[in-house]
Structure 1
Amino acid sequence: MKADSLDEFLRGISKLSYPNFDVIIEDNSSSPSYANRLKDYAADWEKKHPGRSFRVVHSGYISEYARDRVVNGRNIIRSIVLNENYDYFFSLEQDVVPPNNIIEELLESKKDVVSGVYFTKKFTPMDKKYVFMAGIAAETTNPVSEKNLILQPIGIDFLFPTRVAEVMYCGLGCVLISRRVLEKITFRYEKLHKAWDDIFFLYGLT
């Protein structure tokens, strides 16, 4: 988790309008000090929300590679969801603050996997820009591309009218995943590829 966005993230969680959810935050930092700070907030949150839990899991700095730590953390939460009979895993990364009714909106779609749309930073050798963390297939004239298709981020026009739309990929920063899917797929990545676990998770759905 990222300390610079913690307060805003926690305020966002406290404003979620869906009445029946528990909170699990996984922290992979090397020191337990950040997790202890979160536990203080969690205890206060539980007092204000009787019957609901807010747990903090300090998984520790298990690897020098960030992808290893992220995948380990997601699979810890996946195991909790499955072992404790939750219906869904709402994956919300700390730099995403969603609308108050986001859980209701995602549940209304009645999909096993459905994502909200959010921005991410994209770095190139020349500059840095923000793109939507979702993509679609687009035609290309490159003869070596399979089926002459490439993946590209969606544009602003794709978002209107407001609807549930099929995409080729999305991030795991604001996504609702059903138990049925989690029973079949674990979070992973492949070291020979630069992609993170979100892309490989979606490959597993196809």
Structure 2
Amino acid sequence: MMKILIGTPVHESKDYSMDRWIASVSKFEYSFDLLMVDNSTDPKYVNKLHGYCKKYGLSNYKLVHIDVGRDAVLDERLAQSREVIRREILDNNYDAWFSLECDVITPPNTLTKLVDLIDDYWMINHAYPGRDNPLDVNVEFGISLIKRKAIEENSFINEYGYLNPLRPNSWYGSDVWFIRRIDRNNKAKNINVYGIIKPIYHLNK
């Protein structure tokens, strides 16, 4: 059995989804630990998150608040949050990181299905619907299982922005740039999958 950390950046702006998200995660069949990295402007928001975890009987979790500054752009907040998650994985001998956005709801067998699929791949990204238009399809870090070897080789600090010399005018978020670095690594294999996990909901209210 793989030792898996569900690591998720959270923010007070997503509070509309957090009760339902934690309820959903609490039902996962596969064994996991949970780390939520809160980058809200209000450090007291973690108290509300503790309340949701208590409500659904979650005990295998950690909550960390980081202060990224009021003027930090979204990509900086996410990059710093993901680096905290990355360090937790490396420091505590996890085999893989399950990245699940805090407004994406999936069924109890989600982790089981991804673990069954990952084999010798470094990363699996499962498609999920857009937040505002469910007919849109996203394939980034919304539902991703990422093995330790990918995390060892790729950090998140200063890894977003105009980074691709082949596309100098394109902005890359830290999740997309992480995936691109895996794509360009000759040792690595990653796959995008569709329709394996059902149903999936991307909450917008």
TM-score by length of 1: 0.71
2: CA distance, partners of 1:71 / 1:171: 14
Contact 2:22–2:53 (Cα < 8 Å) also in 1: no
1:117 to 119, 123, 127: 127
Cα distance, 1:129 vs structure 2: 7.3
Aligned AA for 1:115?
N
Match of 1:198 in 2: 175
What residue number does 2:137 align with?
Answer: 132
Paired amino acid for 1:185 = N
How far, CA to CA, are the matches of 2:47 and 2:131 in structure 1? 29
Kept after mapping to 1: 8 A contact 2:124/2:145: yes
| Cα drift, residue 204 of structure 1 | 0.7
Structure 2 distance, partners of 1:175, 1:82, is: 17
Give the partner amino acid of 2:47: N
Gaps in structure 2 of 5+ consecutive residues: 1-9, 163-168, 185-205
- Return the alpha-carbon distance in structure 2 between the equivalents of residues 200 and 172 of structure 1: 11
Q: Secondary structure at the match of 1:172?
A: coil
**Which AA in structure 1 matches 2:160?**
Y
Bigger Rg, structure 1 or 2? 1
Q: Relative contact order (alpha carbons < 8 A, sep ≥ 6): 1 or 2 greater?
A: 2
Structure 1: distance between partners of 2:170 and 2:80: 18
Which deviations, in whole Å up to 9, do the C-alpha atoms of 1:45-91 show, x marking residues without a partner?
6xx46xx6211111123342111001110111010001111111000
Aligned length: 160
Deviations 1:149-173 (A, max 9, x none): xxxxxxxxxxxxxxxxxxxxx3101
Residue 189 of structure 1 is matched in structure 2 by 160
- Separation in structure 1 between the aligned mates of residue 124 and residue 73 of structure 2, nearest angstrom: 28
Q: CA deviation at 1:174?
A: 0.7
Aligned position for 1:4: 16
The runs of at least 4 aligned residues of structure 1 exceeding 6 Å deviation read none
What is aligned with 2:29? 17
3-state SS in 2 of match to 1:186: coil
Q: Is the 8 A contact 2:19 2:52 kept in 1?
A: no
Aligned to 1:57: 64
User: Aligned partners of 1:130 and 1:59: how far apart in 2?
Assistant: 34
Amino acid at match of 1:57: V
Letter in 2 for 1:132: V
Q: Which runs of 5+ in 1 are unaligned?
A: 123-127, 134-169
Range moving further from structure 2, 183-192 or 100-109 = 183-192
Name whichever of 185-194 and 24-33 sits farther off.
185-194
Residue 87, structure 1, aligned to residue 95, structure 2? yes
Superposed CA deviations along residues 16-40 of structure 1, whole A, max 9, x for unmatched, are 111x210101110111121111123
Per the alignment, in what secondary structure is the counterpart of residue 35 of structure 2? Answer: strand
TM-score, structure 2 length as denominator? 0.71
Give the conservation status (yes or no) of the 8 Å contact 1:119–1:131. yes
- Give the whole-Å Cα distance in 2 for the aligned partners of 1:129 and 1:184: 34
Is the Cα–Cα contact under 8 Å of residues 21 and 105 in structure 2 kept in the other structure? yes
